[in-house]
A and B are shown apart, each in its own frame.
Chain A
Amino acid sequence: MPSVCFYFQVHQPCRLRHYTVFDQDHRYFDDFKNRTICRKVANKCYLPANRLILDLIKQHQGKFRVAYSITGVLLEQLAEFAPEVISTFDALARTGCVEFLAETYYHSLSFLYSRGEFKEQICKHSETIEKMFGIRPKVFRNTELIYSNSLADTIESMGIFDGILTEGADKILAGRSPNFIYTSPRSSRVKLLLKNYALSDDIAFRFSNRDWKEWPLMAHKFSDWVSKVNGNGYVVNLFMDYETFGEHQWEDTGIFEFMRHLPGEIMKHPDNNFKTPSEVIASYPATDVIDVPGIISWADMERDLSAWVGNSMQSNALHELYRMEQHIKQTGDKVLLADWRKLQTSDHFYYMCTKWFSDGDVHKYFNPYDSPYDSYINFMNVMGNLEKRYKSKSKINPSETDKNTKIKMANQK
């Protein structure tokens, strides 16, 4: 009976340019680098993968179904640098076999720092998706699948979502299977879909690893693993970065060929099918409550926040950033607000992580900095300039009101 639920995360941050303490202008972002990376990823991943998924949907007459979560920061970049990618997503949307998920527009960590900003970004994102693809998202996934009971409460209180995606971390499952539907203790209306990290990572991380005993991974072998879930779960949630196709796993690893054969192999077994998250939620009941008092994410072995808030530079940068929220919003300056929000993208803080730095580990993927220290310095310099901007704005306002009162007083006289 297992349904296979694919969800792909589609995101690229808006990278900062080299910005020193001596810089005074308001150009914070590296257009050249962002364009180059955007075009490269579009050509290696987004375009060929979208083409493949579209083919598969047609080939299987709509029985192959997937979900995407595309961030607002990426959509803005695609519109500017690779608009053809948006039309291919639109083509996918029109098949009716693709679901788009909701998330924070800026792929931010705002849930941890400002619930108001968090909700605003979700609404902005949902509106954008609806405007672009004509579908209003019904299921939410938070940045890096960050989740806690409190997140479920916040999402349920918004009243517009039926479900939340998060990590099927061992520590929250406590021996249970990620292949069932769960709810959170206080908010029982929204359903939880948990990532089957073992099977997801077989594709996303291990696929091309020649030291892995299952290498080379073939579609029929993988579909056997999926079919084994039969009788012990409703759904196999395969959540991964879209860049798995063509970027994390290069084309010559055979990842596209694997994906081309996978739906057919999986549906060879008559009990198996594909469902989008909303369809899963509509099809199956929740079997148990899952209690997550602390915060989890999909990152690393720890499944925690340490990759983004693990050292004092990261927490300092984040606190300073969100401290500005009210000041920036008070200015009413839309450009300033957008700049501030683009700084919230989690990648900026990920670059500051010192956890694996000494090992020169895999986390270097598209990292524009030589070291976490450089990234922190750059970020703080930009923030310094941002602060000057809102301060100069708020200075203007009181002086204007002063002027007005003077005029009034003069008139009265």
Chain B
Amino acid sequence: MLGWEFPPFISGGLGTACYGLTRSMSKLGLEVTFVLPRDVGMDMRTTHVKMRTPEDISEIERQQLELGLENVKFRTIESPLRPYASAESYKREVEDLICAKQRRCGSVGIESVGDDSHHYCGDMYTEVHKYAAAAVKLAMQEDFDIIHAHDWMTYPAGMAVAAVTGKPLVVHVHSTEFDRSGEHVNQMIYDIERAGMHAADKVIAVSFLTRNIIVGRYGISGDKVEVVYNGVERNGNGVNLGATGIKKDEKIVLFLGRITMQKGPEYFLGAAKKVLEVMDNVRFVMVGSGDMMRRTIELAAELGIGNKVLFTGFLRGEDVQKVYEMADLYVMPSVSEPFGIAPLEALNNDVPVLISKQSGVSEVLTHVLKADFWDVNEIANKIVAVLKYSPLQMTLREHGNFEVRKLKWEDAAAKCLQIYNQLLSSAVCV
């Protein structure tokens, strides 16, 4: 399995999805080798998939013995790539990296430190292919049946491995360039995505919304694209809000996600402004960071609701838990959301949810509120209703929490297994 992030070091839903999926796969008895581009420095023993880092050979060897693994590699590429990188953030990070390298080595690591986008394209491309080269090398030493690649950055690697080994390739589309960038697609990324999907023997989409994009925008035949919905980990800990001892005299409406165009933070603020016209004791909490963070903070100020909007930055683990415990409503006004695991986690934490109709997750959830992301009036209308009418909040919470239990990673893993088996049996036939 080829991926780009894995908990605990995640920046978005992709890592969470890979974690949940692989965990359930290992329960099904599937052996998963997960190839990551960077050393995430995790505690290997707690995971269910095999990884290793070449930077730390001695420790890895010890672990290999311990786990009885012999064919796992965990490549570290000093890559500035992130799954949700935008042109701007990437450029910034590339520049940082180059500066660092210059400082360290006194030489230019990447040629032509330029400021035009041509170089950045070339560099990103290089990174993706470095990863691909590493993956091929790794594949030569591995024994496996299926190549499963998560999102575009791993597609070249997937294609290369497939070309070398002749093994069937499954590409798993968690998001497309159209989701991340709207209509301002990066042609290079689009080309990689398109090539990957066309080369794949099967394409897995996280929702029908995404499937439609794959069929419509990438020209993939519909019968090659299967929908496998994400699941959510049922958190078994009984810690509840009483434990935090937080007393609040105001209602809290939560935004939790990367603050980027795709997630629609400006619609959240627009709705907040409207809500505050008719209600006073509400605070809007925005958890997360992203390339639109500064712009969003400014917007809150411009709207004159700066004192009612709280930015926490990126939160992890227990902090997220605490935020959920305080929240009266979780709002996901995503402009384009291939799936959206966060609402499931909110429901899991007994927080009612308002999601945009333009999200894959709205295909699977019924006991939630839905609105068009641009319909700020309607979003505000629904926020007010949840805050004002406790029976609504109660019913949403009860039914939503029950419904979310039906979305299990086990089912997603089983569906993947089914797809693998289909591919393998057809491969035998051929």
Residues of A at the B interface (CB closer than 8 Å) are 20-22, 311-313, 315-316, 354, 357-358, 360, 370-371, 373-374, 376-377, 380-381
Alpha-carbon distance A183/B274, docked complex (angstroms): 58
Main SS at interface, chain B: helix
4 shortest interchain CB distances as A-B pairs = A20-B381, A312-B391, A316-B391, A377-B385
Contact assessment for B394 and A22 in the assembled complex, using a CB-CB cutoff below 8 Å: no
B240 at the interface (CB under 8 A from A): no
Write out the residue numbers on chain B whose beta carbons fall within 8 Å of the beta carbon of A371: 366, 369-370
B403 at the interface (CB under 8 A from A): yes
B278 at the interface (CB under 8 A from A): yes
Write out the residue numbers on chain A whose beta carbons fall within 8 Å of the beta carbon of B394: 312
Q: Which of B360-396 contact A (CB under 8 A)?
A: 366-370, 377-378, 380-382, 384-385, 388-389, 391-392, 394-396
Write out the residue numbers on chain A whose beta carbons fall within 8 Å of the beta carbon of B367: 354, 357-358, 373
B322 at the interface (CB under 8 A from A): no
Write out the residue numbers on chain A whose beta carbons fall within 8 Å of the beta carbon of B308: none
Contact assessment for B381 and A373 in the assembled complex, using a CB-CB cutoff below 8 Å: no
Write out the residue numbers on chain A whose beta carbons fall within 8 Å of the beta carbon of B369: 371, 373-374, 377
Count B-side interface residues using an 8 Å CB cutoff: 24
Contact assessment for A311 and B395 in the assembled complex, using a CB-CB cutoff below 8 Å: yes
Contact assessment for B385 and A22 in the assembled complex, using a CB-CB cutoff below 8 Å: no
B38 at the interface (CB under 8 A from A): no
Alpha-carbon distance A22/B392, docked complex (angstroms): 18
User: Which residue of chain B is the closest to A315 with respect to CB atoms?
Assistant: B391
A313 interface neighbour in B278, B368, B382, B395, Cβ under 8 Å: B395
Write out the residue numbers on chain B whose beta carbons fall within 8 Å of the beta carbon of A20: 377-378, 380-381
Main SS at interface, chain A: helix
CB distance from A310 to the nearest CB of B (A): 10
Given the interface contacts A21-B384, A312-B391, A380-B389, does A373 sit within 8 Å of B396 by beta carbon? yes
Alpha-carbon distance A354/B366, docked complex (angstroms): 10
Alpha-carbon distance A380/B390, docked complex (angstroms): 12
Write out the residue numbers on chain A whose beta carbons fall within 8 Å of the beta carbon of B370: 370-371
Given the interface contacts A371-B370, A373-B396, does A21 sit within 8 Å of B391 by beta carbon? no
User: Which residue of chain B is the closest to A21 with respect to CB atoms?
Assistant: B384
User: Which residue of chain B is the closest to A359 with respect to CB atoms?
Assistant: B366
Write out the residue numbers on chain B whose beta carbons fall within 8 Å of the beta carbon of A358: 366-367, 399, 403
Alpha-carbon distance A358/B402, docked complex (angstroms): 11
CB distance from A320 to the nearest CB of B (A): 9
14 contacts between A and B (CB under 8 A): A20-B377, A20-B380, A21-B380, A21-B381, A313-B391, A316-B391, A373-B368, A373-B369, A373-B396, A374-B369, A376-B389, A377-B369, A377-B381, A377-B392
Alpha-carbon distance A23/B333, docked complex (angstroms): 22
CB distance from A278 to the nearest CB of B (A): 43
CB distance from B370 to the nearest CB of A (A): 7
Write out the residue numbers on chain B whose beta carbons fall within 8 Å of the beta carbon of A354: 367, 395, 399
Write out the residue numbers on chain A whose beta carbons fall within 8 Å of the beta carbon of B391: 311-313, 315-316, 376
CB distance from B339 to the nearest CB of A (A): 19
Contact assessment for B392 and A21 in the assembled complex, using a CB-CB cutoff below 8 Å: no
Given the interface contacts A21-B385, A22-B377, A354-B367, does A373 sit within 8 Å of B278 by beta carbon? no
Contact assessment for B399 and A22 in the assembled complex, using a CB-CB cutoff below 8 Å: no
Most chain A CB inside 10 Å of its own CB: which residue of B366, B368, B382, B399: B366
User: Which residue of chain A is the closest to B399 with respect to CB atoms?
Assistant: A354
B381 interface neighbour in A22, A311, A312, Cβ under 8 Å: A22
Alpha-carbon distance A381/B392, docked complex (angstroms): 13
B380 interface neighbour in A22, A312, A313, A374, Cβ under 8 Å: A22
Write out the residue numbers on chain B whose beta carbons fall within 8 Å of the beta carbon of A381: 381, 385
User: Which residue of chain A is the closest to B385 with respect to CB atoms?
Assistant: A377
CB distance from B267 to the nearest CB of A (A): 16
Alpha-carbon distance A313/B394, docked complex (angstroms): 9
Write out the residue numbers on chain A whose beta carbons fall within 8 Å of the beta carbon of B392: 313, 373, 376-377, 380
Contact assessment for B385 and A380 in the assembled complex, using a CB-CB cutoff below 8 Å: yes
Contact assessment for B366 and A377 in the assembled complex, using a CB-CB cutoff below 8 Å: no
User: Which residue of chain B is the closest to A312 with respect to CB atoms?
Assistant: B391
Contact assessment for A21 and B278 in the assembled complex, using a CB-CB cutoff below 8 Å: yes
Alpha-carbon distance A21/B366, docked complex (angstroms): 23
User: Which residue of chain B is the closest to A319 with respect to CB atoms?
Assistant: B391
CB distance from B243 to the nearest CB of A (A): 26
User: Which residue of chain B is the closest to A18 with respect to CB atoms?
Assistant: B378
Write out the residue numbers on chain A whose beta carbons fall within 8 Å of the beta carbon of B377: 20, 22
User: Which residue of chain B is the closest to A360 with respect to CB atoms?
Assistant: B366
Alpha-carbon distance A312/B392, docked complex (angstroms): 8
Write out the residue numbers on chain B whose beta carbons fall within 8 Å of the beta carbon of A374: 369
Alpha-carbon distance A380/B382, docked complex (angstroms): 11
Write out the residue numbers on chain B whose beta carbons fall within 8 Å of the beta carbon of A370: 370
CB distance from B407 to the nearest CB of A (A): 12
CB distance from B109 to the nearest CB of A (A): 54
Interface string of B391-424 (1 = CB under 8 A from A): 1101110010001000000000000000000000
* A-B contact sample (11 more), CB < 8 A, given A22-B274, A376-B385: A20-B378, A21-B381, A22-B277, A22-B278, A313-B391, A315-B391, A316-B391, A358-B366, A371-B366, A376-B392, A377-B392
Most chain B CB inside 10 Å of its own CB: which residue of A21, A22, A311: A21
Write out the residue numbers on chain A whose beta carbons fall within 8 Å of the beta carbon of B395: 311-313, 354, 373
Alpha-carbon distance A370/B382, docked complex (angstroms): 14
User: Which residue of chain A is the closest to B357 with respect to CB atoms?
Assistant: A370
Write out the residue numbers on chain B whose beta carbons fall within 8 Å of the beta carbon of A311: 391, 395
Write out the residue numbers on chain B whose beta carbons fall within 8 Å of the beta carbon of A373: 367-369, 392, 395-396
Given the interface contacts A354-B367, A354-B399, A373-B369, does A316 sit within 8 Å of B378 by beta carbon? no
Interface string of B243-272 (1 = CB under 8 A from A): 000000000000000000000000000000
CB distance from B117 to the nearest CB of A (A): 43
Write out the residue numbers on chain B whose beta carbons fall within 8 Å of the beta carbon of A21: 278, 380-381, 384-385, 388
Most chain A CB inside 10 Å of its own CB: which residue of B367, B369, B378, B392: B392
CB distance from B183 to the nearest CB of A (A): 28
Contact assessment for A357 and B382 in the assembled complex, using a CB-CB cutoff below 8 Å: no
Q: Which of B68-104 contact A (CB under 8 A)?
A: none
